[in-house]
A and B are shown apart, each in its own frame.
Chain A
Amino acid sequence: MSLKKRNFMSFRTFLVMMGIIVLWGGLIYRLLFLQIQSAPVLVKKAEKQQEAVLKVYPQRGKILDRNGNIFAVSMKVKSAFCVPSEVDELWRTAGKLARILDMPKSRLIHKLTRKSHFSWIKRKLTDEETSRIENEGMRGIYLVDEVKRFYPKASLLSHVVGFVNIDNEGLAGLEKSLDHFLRGKTGSATIIHDAKGRELYAKRDFIEKPEDGLDVYLTVDEVIQHIVEEELDKVYETYQAKGAVAIVVDVTNGDILAMANCPTFDLNLPGEFSADKRRNRALVDCYEPGSLFKIVIGAAALNENLISMNDLIDCEKGAYRIGGHTLHDSHPYDVLPFVSVIAKSSNIGCAKVASMMSRETFYHYIRQFGFGQTIGLPLEGELRGKVRNYQRWSGYSQTAMAMGQEIMVTPLQMVFAFATIANKGKKPVGRLIDRIVGPQNQLIRKNEIREGKSIVSPRTAMKLTQALKLVVSKSGTAYEARVEGYSVAGKTGTAQKVENGTYSHSKFLASFIGFVPADHPVLAIGVMVDEPKGKVYYGGQVAAPGFSVMAERILSYLKIPPEENADENLKQLEKRYAA
């Protein structure tokens, strides 16, 4: 009995044990199926779930001045995002973020509760914001590396440099036109990420390595740009003008040394300024140039030997009827030598000189000086201006153009016309980019200085320069453009603006373009003030003083020695032509 019972119990236990061992065996078999047979399929599925292709952003190239001063640079910054499902303590998190980022709490709540796995909180944080978020260590809030464009000089050269959008795509200026150089190449890498989308390993498996963008060196000189902007702003403020432009060109090689616009804007906050303020008026606006254009008539007439410097021209005592229009001079003159017609800016005199030329010749010179075509700087939206073909001119057109009407030019074109005279009749080829350099400082492309085309003979240029020097004499229209110790050649312009189809008597474009030192020119400087307010509106009064200060400061910065007898020479010149 006892034996039977004992065996009975042990037998059942033994049965259970065998059953359990069989189950263990079954599990081993099941694992064989999962880990060996199905493994390839499962591994592939796991990879698909864990691997992601990530874009790796390159460093955008820098924009620098000719001496390597930085206008635009890229920096690694952090951006904050959240994984809404992970966020706990919603209100506290939102409150903390609101304090750190200075954002409304309601907007943060909205971002933190979005139905997605990813939601930007704020992109491109400041260092302080980054460290505070790191210190708080809020759940569900993460930081990620991004590249932020930073403009250390803020508004300096802003209209030329331009800016990018939040994804670092160029939107304006050089940032846009040179985007393909600056941008670099976005690479990609395979990363392993966890279930919350965070990258696991520091080491990335690059499919394609990112290539950093190229650095662009400009011909602009930061110091000159600064001087020009500072002085232009004073003029702009004094006259409460609608706009103002100043351009400085090295006449010997066409380098743009400065290009300034008023009003201006901060490149770091482009969105806070209207499009009007961001416009580069130097080349996207065109105006009737007014008396500035007289240098073209003068150069053409002299070059064609139609007139000599001393030829007398009857200026009709200030009123002259031609082609159904009556021309006026601001001051009535009787008879003036040609040189004084330019110096005193007589409309009637110039109209008469213009009428000496055939239409074809006049048109030829207008085109030769570059009007009606762009200078060709690598900037978006440069206008060609408006030059009508001579076949479509009316009988009055030539007269009008002699006074700088019926033609539209950009400030840049006008400055280059002066640079042509300064450069002994050779029109310099405009240069804004000096060189493009790779990330390891290797030269990628050098923008070589090109020999300019000869427009007028050196003799013509020299003669015209004499006339332009007289503009800056006591008897000229722009005595205020003089620079102590240097000879200055230049021309004023006071163009009436067209308003409702007729020439306005209250809206002017006051300008002065000149070059220094007049006999061995280095710089051509143009100052144009659009719609100065008040009773003073002549180019010689509004723009010329600005020119003078700019020229003085730039010459001293460039260490160009003063001429010993600049004043003497001017007085002699005056005497010679006064006779």
Chain B
Amino acid sequence: MRDRYSLFLITMGLTLLGVTMVFSSSGVYADREFSDSLYFLKRELIWALIGFLSLSFAYRISLFKLQSWALVIFALSMLLIGLTYTDLGIKVGGAQRWLRFGPFNFQPSEFMKYALVILLAGYFGGQPDYAKGFWKGFIFSLFLIVISVLPILFQPDFGTAVMIAGGGFLMLFVAGVKVRYLGALILSVLPMLYFAIVCFPYRVNRIAAFLDPWKDPTGNGFQMVQSFLAIGRGGLSGVGLGESTQKLFYLPEAHTDFIFSILAEELGYIGSVLTIGAFIIFTVIAFGIALRTKHRFGHLLAAGCTFMICIQAILNIAVVTGTVPPKGIPLPFISFGGSNLMMNLIAVGLIMNVSKSLEQGILVEEGDKTLVTEKRWEKKAHPLRQSLSKYATL
């Protein structure tokens, strides 16, 4: 009951910490680059505002409506990703990941993360029996994951693609796809992953730099080394908020993907553990909501959103601490990045929505079929849900 409010407060707290850290880590850079030290702070605040508005929208939206619109949302996000390949897309550092959106840039792959979660939750939620089947359950859902990931992979945005695929994979696991299918999948993906790395020299370099960043501290290992130096400089209690020196052009992407290094430098071990602690509390509350929800769609939706946020956070911190090879993944709520913040806040809104709906008695499970208590759900949503199911059965 109160857990969704706790979740909201934790999210607020993390976002505020994020805004603070964005200002701290980007101020000097922004002053230099745009002659406005508040450049990133302003944008982050506007996105946070948009994000919290979106959160309240996601909190209020009818879950049944959401389930029935799942395919549309998915199609829309596919379209948006497709647009990045056209003239509307912006090329940054050789990758087309962004769409121009008025004064803001928007990353459609962020949208896709949760579109896939909603789609899979809707699919498995509507037809509980599918999950166990090979074709309808495993192969079809795998197909959905692959078609959502492929365009992102070719942007190229390997990190996000891996993360989305990982989140989708966990959803299949939770939805009830047989473990032997999933095991076989892992075994077959590994060689593909190997070639995906070996065929791109920059990825090989990244892996090499990951294994021993000190070997080439000014070249490939540069960012990792600088991240280590920042984290190490923090020590137990940190150098103090705003006092980071590593953010002064030593550490690249200090306000985006590597913001946690600056956080660790300024706030120390105490600060970084408290931040991770906040994420753990977030994890526990969000999973608690999912676990309490017996309604399949609600459960899968809450769990899926939680996976996505947790995987991002863990991967990000693992990257900056040199625990896994570097990938460009932002830290949810904290890194600068408008569309990422907005989508993560929407995800929190959806998790809270599930909690609310559960409390209001809208989501109840009885037997094999979902008991529908809301009439509109049956009337309006049904045809689309039906079509989705039909599509799956083909």
Q: Which residues of A contact B (CB under 8 A)?
A: 1-2, 5-6, 8-10, 12-14, 16-17, 20-21, 23-24, 26-28, 30-32, 34-36, 38-39, 41-43, 45-46, 49-50, 137, 192, 194-196, 200
CA distance A23 to B173 in the complex (A): 18
Chain B residues, CB < 8 A from A41: 232
Task: Check B174 against A35 for contact (C-beta < 8 Å).
Answer: no
Contact A46 to B269, CB < 8 A, known contacts A9-B296, A16-B307, A21-B280: no
**Contact assessment for A35 and B272 in the assembled complex, using a CB-CB cutoff below 8 Å:** yes
The answer to whether A194 touches B307 (Cβ under 8 A) is: no
16 examples of A-B residue contacts, CB within 8 angstroms = A6-B294, A10-B294, A12-B173, A17-B287, A21-B283, A24-B279, A27-B321, A34-B322, A35-B235, A35-B236, A35-B268, A36-B236, A36-B269, A43-B232, A194-B250, A195-B249
> Could you list which residues of chain B lie within 8 angstroms of chain A, going by C-beta atoms?
28, 35, 128, 170, 173-176, 228-236, 245-246, 248-250, 264, 268-269, 272-273, 276, 279-280, 283-284, 287, 290-291, 294, 296, 299, 303, 307, 310, 314, 317-318, 321-323, 365-368
Rounded to whole angstroms, the CA-CA distance of A34 and B231 in the bound complex is 7
Interface-centre pick from B231, B246, B276 (highest chain A CB count, 10 A): B231
Could you tell me if A31 and B273 are in contact, using CB atoms closer than 8 angstroms? Answer: yes
Q: Tell me if A27 and B228 are in contact (CB < 8 A).
A: no
Which listed residue, A8, A14, A38, A192, touches B232 by the CB 8 Å rule? A38
Report, nearest first, the 8 A-B pairs whose CB atoms are least far apart: A42-B232, A194-B248, A195-B249, A17-B287, A35-B269, A46-B229, A195-B250, A39-B235
Verify B273–A20 contact, CB threshold 8 A: no
Beyond the given A12-B174, A34-B231, A42-B229, please list 11 additional residue pairs across the A-B interface where CB-CB is below 8 A. A2-B366, A13-B290, A23-B314, A31-B269, A31-B272, A31-B273, A34-B321, A35-B234, A35-B264, A35-B272, A194-B245
Write the nearest CB–CB distance from A148 to chain B, whole angstroms: 28
Determine the chain B residues whose CB is within 8 A of the CB of A192 once the complex forms. Answer: 245
Considering only CB atoms, which chain A residue lies closest to B172 in the complex?
A12
| Distance in angstroms between the alpha carbons of A440 and B367 in the assembled complex | 97
Q: Which of B173, B299, B314, B368 contacts A27 (CB 8 A)?
A: B314
Residues of A within 8 A of B176 (CB): 5, 8-9, 12
A24 touches B314 (CB 8 A): yes
Q: Judge whether A194 and B233 touch: CB under 8 Å.
A: no
* A-B residue pair count with CB separations less than 8 angstroms: 134
Q: Please measure, in the bound complex, the distance between the C-alpha atom of A195 and the C-alpha atom of B367, giving whole angstroms.
A: 64
Rounded to whole Å, the gap between the CB of A168 and the closest CB of chain B is: 31
Find out whether the CB atom of B264 lies under 8 angstroms from the CB atom of A16: no
Q: Which residue in chain B gives the minimum CB-CB distance to A23?
A: B314
Tell me, in angstroms, the Cα distance from A43 to B175 when the chains sit together: 47
Main secondary structure of the interface of A (DSSP, over half): helix
Bound CA span A13–B235, Å: 36
Cross-chain contact of B233 among A30, A31, A42 (Cβ < 8 A)? A42
Q: In the complex, A105→B322 CA distance in Å?
A: 46
Q: Are A49 and B229 in contact (CB under 8 A)?
A: yes
A30-B269 Cα distance, complex, nearest whole Å: 11
Q: Is the CB of B249 within 8 A of A14?
A: no
Chain B residues closer than 8 Å to A196, beta-carbon distance:
249
Contact in complex: A36, B235 (CB < 8 Å): yes
Determine if A42 and B231 form an interchain contact, defined as CB atoms under 8 angstroms apart. Answer: yes
Give the CA-CA distance A510 to B349 in the complex, in Å. Answer: 104
Complex Cα–Cα for A38 and B365 (A): 52
Most buried by B among A2, A9, A46: A9
In this complex, what residue of B is CB-closest to A193?
B248
Within the complex, which residue of A2, A5, A28 is in contact with B276, where a contact is CB–CB below 8 Å? A28
**Residues of the A chain whose Cβ atoms lie less than 8 Å from the Cβ of B366:** 2
CA distance A133 to B283 in the complex (A): 54
Closest CB in chain B relative to A84 CB, distance in Å: 15
Partner of B284, one of A10, A13, A17, A30: A17
Q: How far is the CA of A8 from the CA of B299 in the complex (A)?
A: 12
Contact of A30 among B303, B307, B323 (CB under 8 A): B323
Task: Please give, as numbers and ranges, the residues of chain A lying within 8 Å of B322 by CB-CB distance.
Answer: 34
In the bound complex, residues from chain B placing their C-beta under 8 Å from that of A26 are 323
**A-side contacts of B230, CB under 8 Å:** 46
Which residues of the partner chain A approach B323 to less than 8 Å between Cβ atoms?
Answer: 26-27, 30
Closest to B367 in A: A2
Given contacts A2-B368, A9-B174, contact A32 B299 (CB under 8 A): no
* Cross-chain contact B231 with A13 (CB below 8 angstroms): no
Query: A9 and B231: CB pair below 8 A?
Result: no
Contacts A2-B368, A21-B284, A200-B245 known; A13 to B303 CB distance under 8 Å? yes
Residues of A within 8 A of B170 (CB): 16
Bound CA span A49–B322, Å: 20
Q: Check A14/B264 contact, CB under 8 A, given A31-B321, A39-B235, A200-B248.
A: no
Tell whether, in the assembled complex, residue B250 and residue A13 are in contact, meaning their CB atoms are under 8 Å apart: no
Q: Which residues of A contact B246 (CB under 8 A)?
A: 46
Q: Which residue of B lies closest to A17 (CB)?
A: B287
Q: Which of B229, B294, B366 is the most central at the interface, judged by chain A CB atoms within 10 Å of its CB?
A: B229
B-chain residues with CB within 8 Å of residue A23 when the two chains form the complex: 314, 318
Chain B residues with Cβ below 8 Å from A50 are 245, 250
Cβ–Cβ < 8 Å partners of A12 in chain B: 173-174, 176
A39 in contact with B367 given A13-B290, A46-B245 (CB within 8 Å): no
How many angstroms between the C-alpha atoms of A6 and B280 in the bound complex? Answer: 25
| Chain B residues within 8 Å of A42, by CB | 228-229, 231-233
A24 and B283 in contact (CB under 8 A), knowing A16-B307, A34-B231? yes
> In the docked arrangement, what's the CA distance between A328 and B345, Å?
115
CA distance A200 to B268 in the complex (A): 22
Residue numbers in A under 8 Å from B280 (CB-CB): 21, 24
Given A5-B128, A12-B173, does the pair A20, B314 have CB atoms closer than 8 Å? yes
- CB neighbours (8 Å) of B368 from chain A are 1-2, 5
Bound Cα distance A223, B321 (Å): 74
In the assembled complex, how far is the CB of residue B215 from the closest CB belonging to chain A, in whole angstroms? 14
Residues of A within 8 A of B303 (CB): 13, 16
Collect the chain B residues with CB atoms within 8 Å of residue A24's CB: 276, 279-280, 283, 314
Indicate which residue in B35, B233, B283, B299 contacts A43 across the interface (CB closer than 8 Å): B233
Contacting residues, chain A, for B249 (C-beta < 8 A): 194-196
Chain A residue with the shortest CB-CB distance to B234: A35
Residues of A within 8 A of B272 (CB): 31, 35
Distance of A88 from chain B, by nearest CB (Å): 10
Which partner residue on chain A sits nearest B249 by CB separation? A195
The closest CB in chain A to the CB of B129 belongs to: A5
Q: Which residue of B lies closest to A2 (CB)?
A: B367
Nearest-Cβ distance from residue B371 to partner chain A, whole angstroms = 11
B245 surroundings in chain A (CB, below 8 A): 46, 50, 192, 194, 200
Is B318 touching A27 in the complex (CB atoms < 8 A)?
yes
Please report the C-alpha to C-alpha distance between residue A578 and residue B174 in the assembled complex, in whole angstroms.
137
Q: How far is the CA of A459 from the CA of B307 in the complex (A)?
A: 116
CB neighbours of A13 from chain B (8 A): 174, 287, 290-291, 299, 303
> Of B128, B269, B294, which contacts A32 at CB under 8 A?
B269
Q: Give every chain A residue within 8 A of B234 (Cβ-Cβ).
A: 35, 39
A16 to B272 Cα, complex, angstroms? 23
Bound form: Cα–Cα A9–B128 in Å: 11
Query: Are A9 and B175 touching (Cβ within 8 A)?
Result: yes
CB distance from B242 to the nearest CB of A (A): 13
User: For B314, what are the chain A residues with a Cβ–Cβ distance below 8 Å?
Assistant: 20, 23-24, 27
- CB contacts (< 8 Å) of B365 on chain A: these are 2, 6
Q: Is there an interface contact between B248 and A195, defined as CB atoms closer than 8 Å? A: yes
**Given A13-B303, A35-B234, A36-B235, A27-B229 contact (CB < 8 Å):** no
With a CB–CB cut-off of 8 A, which chain A residues contact B273?
A: 28, 31
Docked Cα-Cα span, A10 to B228, in Å, equals 39
Minimum CB–CB distance from B212 to chain A (whole Å) comes to: 15
Chain A residues lying within 8 Å of B307, measured Cβ to Cβ, are 16
Q: Is the CB of A27 within 8 A of B236?
A: no
Would you give the shortest CB distance from B295 to chain A, in whole angstroms? 10
Q: Which residues of B contact A32 (CB under 8 A)?
A: 269
Residues of B within 8 A of A16 (CB): 170, 173-174, 287, 303, 307
Chain B residues, Cβ within 8 Å of A1: 367-368
Q: What's the Cα separation between A13 and B233 when bound, in Å?
A: 38
